[in-house]
Structure 1
Amino acid sequence: MAITLKGDQKISSVPTTKNKALKINLNANIYGTFAEIGAGQETVRNFFRAGGASGTIAKAMSAYDKDFSDAIYGIETDRRYVTEDRLKKMLKHEMNLIEDRLDRQKHPEKLFFSYANTVATINFTKKFKGHGWVGIRFQLDPLEDYNEIILHLRFKETEARLQQETLGILGVNLIYGAFYLNDNPKELLKSFYDNIDKDKLEIDMINFSGPRFTYVDNRLMSLQLVKNGMTNAVMFGPDGNNLLPAQVLYKKNILALRGSFRPVTKVNMDMYEQSKKMFFDEKKVDPDKSQVIFEITLSNLKAEGEINERDFLDRAELLCSLGQNVMITNYQEYYRLVEYFSEFTKERMALAMGVYNLIEIFDEKYYRHISGGILEAFGKLFYKDLKIYMYPYKEEETGQFIDSENLKVHPRMKELYKFFKNNGRVVDIENFDPEILDIFSRTVLKMIKEGKDGWEDMLPTGIAEVIKEKRLFGCSRRN
């Protein structure tokens, strides 16, 4: 937020919600509809109050009754109403009505839009805080196809009235940003929190599409959400489009592999294949209701200082080419990651990791910021139905394989480690490939950048070709 000084006072350069709505209203070419379900007509109310709304609002509606809503937008196969599919149907339906009812020849300069939200606010017991989908379909040129911005939010406030007001401000910010900040998606993203405190609202998914956003990589927009503190975790699929974690992980068995994947190596994929087989063989795990995640932490992306967006996209490109779902989180400690997963599922979970990662879990220095220290963290970590699959390490000097039986933790942690090991919470990955244990991502990356030969053999099938074709990680050759 830009700040200017005037005397001893600080003046924000961010326009107020009223001024944003008024600027839209005074633009003679912007014209569209508002369809809001579940939290009042909070967004359109701001436009009515700002003045001059007759030139902007073609229609405002709220189909609260489910039968009315189904009659207008159709019946969802899962009978749910607060979903992305529902929102998209609302946006398309309302836009089609504008096109049908308004003559383009009579309004050649009009930029049509449809704004919609479908929301569930906090319930009476206040156990469910509420969430919703918000989106806009809009033109920036009368002869151009429509653009679309769709986002998912989670409410943090504990009163329905406050959530409604926050939703109304967010809606104005979205519409204003779509028309006036579309040439800078990163700033558009930040503007969603104009006049809103971040502790009131979490935005955990966003997708841009349409002719004006063909250059936007939605994976990079996901990264911005975490980087800007709008959420702690985001996910995207093999196609590069962002996914809603709550939707993907709901009531699922979850296997997570954390790494730098810079680049993804044969070791990473061997750990993936072997841990997945072990996980699917568990009696409590249903392979058809399971989700495997490749996770990268924000701290890992910042390992060399500021986040290098090109480097991030290079990693994402490879994991997506392998058909994997990727998660970016701000959870450096594993117990926080497990706590996050537990918001969506009570089913069996597992973490696959190498020896050094496991040793770090038993390092007290990572838990000094919590009152109960390592015991509190371990209570949160292993209280859940969780297992750790440990991939071995080969000592360079002795050639010995280090696994859960012979690894050394700090003497004070020895008995604690034995407790979890003896209770079957730490399990060795035994069917590993001993021929690849001397492969490290950092070695491969250095060889790629220095133009040395041989790194191709350290990577999974097809990955070297992708790196060369797209010149990832500073690779200077195509073949």
Structure 2
Amino acid sequence: MSALNEDEFENILSIQNKCTRLNLNENIYGTFAEIGAGQETVRHFFRAGNPKGTIAKTLSAYDKDFSDAIYGLDPQNRYVTVERLKRMIDYEAELIEQRLSRKKYPDKLFFSYANTVATIDWAKKYKGHGWLGIKFQREPKQAYSEIILHVQFHENNASQQQISLGIMGVNLIYAAFYQSDDPKELIKKLYDHLSKDKIEIDSINFKGPVFKNVDNRLMSLELVKNGITEAVMFSPEGNNILPANVLYKKHILTLRGSFRPVTNLNLNMFLSARNLFLNQENVDPDKTVIIFEMTLNNLKSEGDNEINEKDFLDRADLLCASGQTVMISNFQEYYKVVEYFAQHTKKELGLVMGVDNLIDIFNERYYRHLSGGILEAFGKLFFKSLKVYLYPIKDEKTGEIITSKTLKVHPRVKELYKFFVDNGKVIDIEDYDEKSLDIHPRQVYEMILEGNHEWEKMVPGLTAKMIKEKNMFSKEKASHS
């Protein structure tokens, strides 16, 4: 290990000291491949003491033809992609294994670090983004582990973005070797000497023997919980995916809920709204993405600020098993969801909600922080092509079915409400399942906890099967992890 005493570094975590500690570790050795923003990460290692201790090779295949010659052609002629990054770290890790004999270096911990980025353009139209990754060993001859992340730049100057990239690159390499026992803490350490308003991580994936017990969906959750990003997504396979890639130029239909668990009510809302959305003249089914969204508040138990991770994974498993793309967000208000989607597409948007959710939307107290109040919020919410697909509710006292036409709102917002309904922004779902109107998700969850098997009639068959087989939402699992 390092020639310096471990305790000397306990509270010395400057970027230079991180590089020095790595450089002085006689076993850590690897390559740096950086494309698009100079060699900002390796620069720190050259400036620290004993760079030859860590740097086997460094390169910047800035020219596209050189990059293609080394790492292969990209089918879409794109360079700032996760596929390109993976090819870079795989190629360089394989190369170092080929060129450095294990007989000569039996104790070496090899790594390959890479980034491929595009910083802000001269017109400042595009802020810039990029991929960073490291493939590394924690034990000699161990199978490689990986950390791959995507960042969005928020600074308005290319040189400032390069500085932030270099700092995060050092933090990533250091964390891989010294802080990877606790991936949650590792995520926080990526921001040493950085502020979240400069550079945003919106996707991160861990892989390999060091992270064999890590569920990447929980890592997504950490990004939102820590205020690093506002929304994350994961695929039906459970992998973290980049929201920008999923949403780019797509028609988007989203259903928000707690999904604890998915009920027949949720399913019918989704299927009915999907049919209406896809039947719109301008909507291409092949370019449509459907999102099941949970907010941080959805994930918290009533009166509790903590999130039960096992409870979250139970819900995630059920949604993934039914083939859904899941989004976790920090957007309490619906208009913020719409603003977020509008960053990525100009195509049609749809929100699926029940009448009770619509009542909340027209509650003025949610918009007191906006200078324009509810009018400003609704200007953002009901932009251009957005439509609300409204599922009715049943009045428990009278049995009346309440739709957009029979809903009574506060007199102060009555005309505003009427304007949006009359202009086709709110569409009633008419082919609803009347039986599902008697399903209350909170009661279904309580039935599961109480062992009342009536809940099985209120959820889809696959959901019921999984809940029973995996003992989901049990009292035993109700404690925080």
Q: Same fold judged by TM-score > 0.5?
A: yes
Provide the C-alpha distance between the structure 2 equivalents of 1:14 and 1:408, rounded to a whole number of angstroms: 62
Structure 1 equivalent of residue 3 of structure 2: none
Give the drift of 1:302: 2.8
Structure 2 equivalent of residue 112 of structure 1: 110
Give the drift of 1:385: 1.3
Query: Which segments of 5 or more consecutive residues in structure 1 lack a partner in the other structure?
Result: 1-11
Structure 1 equivalent of residue 385 of structure 2: 385
Contact 1:467 1:475 in 2 (8 A): no
1:445-460 equivalences under 5 Å are: 445-460=445-460
Identity of aligned residues (%): 63
Give the drift of 1:384: 3.2
Structure 1 equivalent of residue 288 of structure 2: 290
1:387-406 equivalences under 5 Å are: 387-406=387-406
Which secondary structure does the structure 1 equivalent of 2:448 belong to? helix
Structure 1 equivalent of residue 215 of structure 2: 217
Q: Deviations over 1:314-354 (max 9, x none)?
A: 11111111110000011111111100001100000000000
The farther-off stretch of 118-127 and 298-307 is: 298-307
1:2-81 equivalences under 5 Å are: 13=11, 15-81=13-79
Contact 1:14 1:194 in 2 (8 A): no
Query: Which segments of 5 or more consecutive residues in structure 2 lack a partner in the other structure?
Result: 1-9
Structure 2 equivalent of residue 4 of structure 1: none
Provide the C-alpha distance between the structure 2 equivalents of 1:444 and 1:30, rounded to a whole number of angstroms: 53
Q: 2:106 corresponds to which letter in structure 1? A: P
Contact 1:32 1:59 in 2 (8 A): yes
Contact 1:235 1:245 in 2 (8 A): yes
Give the drift of 1:399: 1.4
Structure 2 equivalent of residue 6 of structure 1: none
Structure 2 equivalent of residue 420 of structure 1: 420
Structure 2 equivalent of residue 348 of structure 1: 348
Q: Deviations over 1:77-118 (max 9, x none)?
A: 111000000000001011111011111111110011000000
Contact 2:109 2:141 in 1 (8 A): no
RMSD: 1.2
1:146-165 equivalences under 5 Å are: 146-165=144-163
Contact 1:152 1:203 in 2 (8 A): yes
Give the drift of 1:400: 1.1
Contact 1:295 1:328 in 2 (8 A): yes
- TM-score, normalised with respect to structure 2: 0.95
Structure 2 equivalent of residue 313 of structure 1: 313
Structure 1 equivalent of residue 274 of structure 2: 276
Provide the C-alpha distance between the structure 1 equivalents of 2:171 and 2:94, rounded to a whole number of angstroms: 24
Structure 2 equivalent of residue 373 of structure 1: 373
Provide the C-alpha distance between the structure 2 equivalents of 1:77 and 1:402, rounded to a whole number of angstroms: 52
Provide the C-alpha distance between the structure 2 equivalents of 1:436 and 1:120, rounded to a whole number of angstroms: 49
Structure 2 equivalent of residue 82 of structure 1: 80
Contact 1:468 1:475 in 2 (8 A): no
Which secondary structure does the structure 1 equivalent of 2:390 belong to? strand
Structure 2 equivalent of residue 5 of structure 1: none
Q: Deviations over 1:167-213 (max 9, x none)?
A: 00000000000011111000001001000011101100000000111
Q: Deviations over 1:425-444 (max 9, x none)?
A: 00001111111211111111
Provide the C-alpha distance between the structure 2 equivalents of 1:97 and 1:476, rounded to a whole number of angstroms: 49
The farther-off stretch of 283-292 and 378-387 is: 378-387
Contact 1:451 1:476 in 2 (8 A): no
How many corresponding residue pairs? 466
Give the drift of 1:309: 1.4
Q: Deviations over 1:19-64 (max 9, x none)?
A: 1111111111100000000011000000110111101100000001
Which secondary structure does the structure 2 equivalent of 1:15 belong to? coil
Name the CA shift for 1:29/1:276 in 2 (closer, same or farther; >3 Å).
same
Provide the C-alpha distance between the structure 2 equivalents of 1:124 and 1:303, rounded to a whole number of angstroms: 47
Which secondary structure does the structure 1 equivalent of 2:461 belong to? coil
Structure 1 equivalent of residue 232 of structure 2: 234
Contact 1:262 1:315 in 2 (8 A): yes
Provide the C-alpha distance between the structure 2 equivalents of 1:158 and 1:476, rounded to a whole number of angstroms: 50
Which secondary structure does the structure 2 equivalent of 1:472 belong to? coil
Give the drift of 1:14: 6.2
Give the drift of 1:360: 0.9
- The ranges of structure 1 where at least 4 consecutive aligned residues each deviate by more than 4 angstroms after the TM superposition are none
Provide the C-alpha distance between the structure 2 equivalents of 1:132 and 1:141, rounded to a whole number of angstroms: 29
Give the drift of 1:13: 4.0
Structure 2 equivalent of residue 473 of structure 1: 473
Q: 1:267 corresponds to which letter in structure 2? A: L
Contact 1:264 1:319 in 2 (8 A): yes
1:181-260 equivalences under 5 Å are: 181-260=179-258
